[in-house]
Structure formats: structure tokens, C-alpha cells
Amino acid sequence: MDAPSLYAGVEQDQLMQHADKYLANYGTKFNKDIIVGSRGLYVFTADGRKILDFTSGQMSCLLGHGNPEIVEVIRAHASELDHLFSGMISPPVISLGRRLCSLLPPGLDKAFFLSTGGESNEAAIKMAKVYTGKFEIVALGGSWHGVTAQALGAQYHYGRKGHGPSVPGMHMLPQPSAYRSPFRHADGSYDWKTELDYGWNLIDHASVGSLAACIVECIQSSAGMHVLPPGYLAALKEHCHKRGMLLIVDEAQTGVGRCGDLMAIVHEGVTPDILTLSKTLGNGLPLSAVVTSDRIDKICAERDYCFYTTHVNDPLPAAVGDKVLEIVVRDNMVERSRSMGIRLQDGLRRLQSRYGVIGDVRGRGLMAGVEIVADRATKEPALELAQKIGMRAYELGVWANLSSHSSFGGTFRIAPPISVTEEELSAGLAILEQAFAETPGTQPLY
């Protein structure tokens, strides 16, 4: 595959000097390479290297970079129907609303569309507050819901410090980590129910009597790909409704087939009061959704709920989201994600059987976490070693994002596009194994 020609021949060193001089910090270090192109499952560097993108960009390019059908939708709408006054609606917005809601369980009946995942979670939290007339919000330890005020207030591992008080009324449940939780049955298995009940008991004592909603991810990606245990989401919904709260499920990364079901809530058999989508819905374009019931929508409208933004229900990104859903359903991409996910998980567990530094492999479908530890018995993190493995994998041609902050636990987050082929998946796994083999300290077992 030849590299795209849009930025062929640029001078990388000079561009990096300009980046250092003119681009401000927003919370992460820049990768060492300038990326000049992307196509399919690959990104291309200015110095001519081709890198297999095992994170779908920022976990977003569900169908790969430059999907021809999506490119054509963007071209057509950029030319003829791009952006409108926020009170105007257009065919692609109506079509996306119809298609999305018809694919979801009853009780998720109406949708509107925004730009980012943080924006959709901000809107969902505000909706819950307006509907219930209460203000306290519960979230899970290790959660990531965005960087706007209320979304950040419900985010418990990174980005909370250095800017004064959070939004009032935020509470945290213990992170549901089957690998590291101290809550155990006598046989050593994870006792998530006792942990969850214990957490709610603490919140009941801390609450001022105004619990409005709980927001949750079915797989905590940014925290290190922790999957909610079977039954957890149903128990969480029961806790919420017993207290007159709404349940919000954030499917920024798990939605639209990523995990082997159209939505992760389908796998759990639980319908939330509000569902938020982003990332995968727009295949890399800024598009998010808030979906709720007829009743919640009606009552919020009566109470003057407002989330009127410049890009609400914009036609161009809505047309892309509509095409993404069309392709996923038409081409049986959910079933493909499920079967390819089994291959991915099996391949990573084979790696775990060969290298003692891999403490845990977890995930579902094409969404996996590989946690690196210094010792399997103590589960002591090995962040520096993990960084060396990740750097070697990148040098060999695979980008697998390492959650290197201490609150993430040193976990590789792997989420290739669901359009990945068997050959591409096998090639990526082989490169990862080579990176483990060539990095000192990975504790080969045979």
C-alpha cells in the first residue's frame, strides 16, 4: 500500500521545531513522528514508515481510515449540505435519528446529535438533573467521561487536579476491577456484588438526598480496559431506580459493534434511561449522540431543558453517522467484530502464556487490554518496561496505545478497526510478540 500523497515530501525536523514553538500543551506529549497520511488500518509517517493502527486513531475510526463510502458522503455534504442554523433540521439528521433509534431497545426512542463524547455526557447529565429535579451524580472509580465541567466531575482518575473545585454533588463508587479489587470470595474470585453494595452504602451516607443519576462505561477503556462483570450493570440499574435515579451508559468506545454486539448494553441485556454515543459513530469525525425515552424527552421539554449548541444536529457529521450505521448493519460487521475479537483475545492470551510480564488480558470483541506487571504474584506495575515494549512495537510497525499514567495501570489498549482482516490482525499480533521477544525483562516462559 502506497502512502497518501497529500503531504508527501514534508520536512519532519522543521515541522517538529514549529510544533514545539507554536503548539500549546493540552495534557499529553506529542508522538515523535509527524503523521502525513492515513488509509485503511495504517498511518504513514513523514520519514516513510507505515504503522498498523491498532487503536483506530483515538478509538474512533471504526471502519478504518479513508473508508471510500464515508469519503464520498463527506465530499457530497461538504459541497451541498454542510452546516445549518441550529434550529433547522435536514434529511441526514432525521435519517440518523430514525436508523439509530430503530436499532436500539424500546425506551431509547429519541436522539439528538452533538460533536464530542464529553459534550454528549455533559448533555446527558444535565438532562438527568432537569428530569429528576436533583443534582448529585454518581460515577465509577477509573471512569473517563470528558473534560467539560460535569463530565469531568464524574471522571475519577486523571484531569481532576489543579483547577479548583469540581461541580458540587459528585460521588464515586469503587472501580470494578476484577484483576485488582480487594473484594474477594473465599476462593479468591472477585466479589463485585459486595463491593458495589458497600460503595452505595458509602454514597447513601455522603449524599445530601439529591441523587439524580449514575453514569457508567460498560468497559472502562481509559482506566485499562476493565470490563464490567456479568450482572453488574443490571445491579447498578436496580440501585439507581431504588433511589429514584437515572442510569446513563456512556458507549463512546464500546458502541456500534466494537465489542461484538451492536451496543454493549445489548450484551448486558440492560436498557439505560439515557445512552450516549460518540467516537465510533462518526468514524473519526466529531459526532456524538444523546438517546433517551419519549417520557424523559417530553418532561425535559416541559421543564425548558436546553443544550443548544452551534453544531447540534449538523447535517454533514450526521450523514457520516448514518452511513456508518448503514455499513455496520448491511455488511454484518457486528458478527465480524465478534469473530475477529475471539482471534484477537486468543492471540493476546497466547502472548500471556509466553511472557510472564503480562499480568492480565481482558476485554471483549475488538477491544482488549494487556496489563504489564513486574511480578504476577504481587501485580506490581512495570510502567517503564511497558513503555519500552510499546516503543519497540512502534518501531517494528504497530501502534498499540499504552496507558502509562499510574492511574491507568500500565495497560496496552488495543482496538483495531472492526474492518481489520485476518492477515492484518495476525501481522499485528506477530509484531507485538516480536516486541516482547526483543525487549529485555519481559520474562519469557519458554
Active centre residues (catalytic): 144, 217, 250, 253, 279, 413
> Please, what is the end-to-end C-alpha distance for the chain in angstroms?
36
Longest alpha-carbon distance in the chain: 66
Indicate the helix (H) or strand (E) that contains 234. Answer: helix 232-242
Rounded to 10°, the helix 294-302/117-132 angle is: 70
Torsion of CA 188, 192, 194, 195, to 10 degrees: 110
Residue 68 CA to residue 285 CA, distance in Å, equals 14
Side chain identity at residue 7, one-letter code = Y
Long-range pairs of 193-199 with CB within 8 A, sequence gap ≥ 24 = 193/231, 193/235, 196/232, 196/235, 196/236, 196/239, 198/174, 199/172, 199/173, 199/174
* 53 closest CA partner among 360, 413, 363: 413
Yes or no: say if 211 and 138 are a contact pair by the CB < 8 Å rule.
yes
Tell me the DSSP string of 82-124. ----TT---HHHHHHHHHHHHHSPTT--EEEEES-HHHHHHHH
For residue 36, report the phi and psi dihedrals to the nearest 5 degrees.
-110, -5
Cα 47 from Cα 34, distance rounded (Å): 8
Other Cβ atoms less than 10 A from the Cβ of 328: the count is: 24
Strand pairing partners for 219?
A: 227
What is the CB neighbour count within 10 angstroms for residue 304? 7
Q: Of 113, 175, 117, give the one whose Cα is nearest residue 151.
A: 117
Nine-digit cell string for 167:
461541580
Strand-pair category, 368-375 with 211-216: unpaired
Residues 205-231: b if buried by 16+ CB within 10 A, e if exposed: eebeeebbbbbbbbbbbbbbbbbbbee
